[in-house]
Amino acid sequence: MPAPQIANAAPVHRVLQQELVVMEQILTLTDAITDALMRQDIVLLQQLVAEKHRCILNGTRLDQERLAAAKSLAWAAGVPPTSSLWQVCQVLPKSARNALLALRSRMLNVHYRLQQAEDRNKVLLANAIHLTRFHIDLLTNAALHPAAYGTNLTRVANPAFYVDNKV
């Protein structure tokens, strides 16, 4: 089967470039979230999380566009529409294949770095939760069991009760 025209790969290439930009924005926001966690800046953290959420929604929209463009490219290339990008690229002309595979490689690299940053933030949040739980337990224990400084805890308050009391 003849290879599809290079123009057929242009929509997939465009969407992949847009997804790469969004992924890099998410990575930048994730690094900023790490810094906000370290500085314990809750207001900034809330703003960054909201912005990251907007980027993720944009990425989800781009995923749908990429799937549609990849399906049409696969159809034009004569491969099953459920084929992976790698499989579709194998039947494209060399220039289009190299461009798409280079974008794919960059996206995988950014995804790996994003996963590392997310794992780092998970550990920071788990530590913050553990520390908060420790402080709550400490304050609860202090409130429920007040210290009796300066008192003799072994002293019997009313010794006659124990000795002289008849049952």
pLDDT tens sequence across 9-53: 889 999 999 999 999 999 999 999 999 999 989 999 999 999 999
Give dist(CA 92, CA 109) in Å, integer. 23
Letter string b/e over residues 52-85, b meaning 16 or more CB atoms within 10 A of that residue's CB: beebeebbeebeeebeebbbebbebbebeeebeb
Give dist(CA 74, CA 107) in Å, integer. 20
* 88 — pLDDT class (breaks 50, 70, 90): confident
Percent of the chain with pLDDT over 90: 56
Compute the mean pLDDT over every residue in the chain, rounded to the nearest whole number: 86
* pLDDT for position 5: 47
For residues 55-76, average pLDDT:
92
Classify domain 6-116 by CATH architecture.
Up-down Bundle (1.20)
* pLDDT for position 129: 93
* 4 — pLDDT class (breaks 50, 70, 90): very low
- State the pTM of this model: 0.75
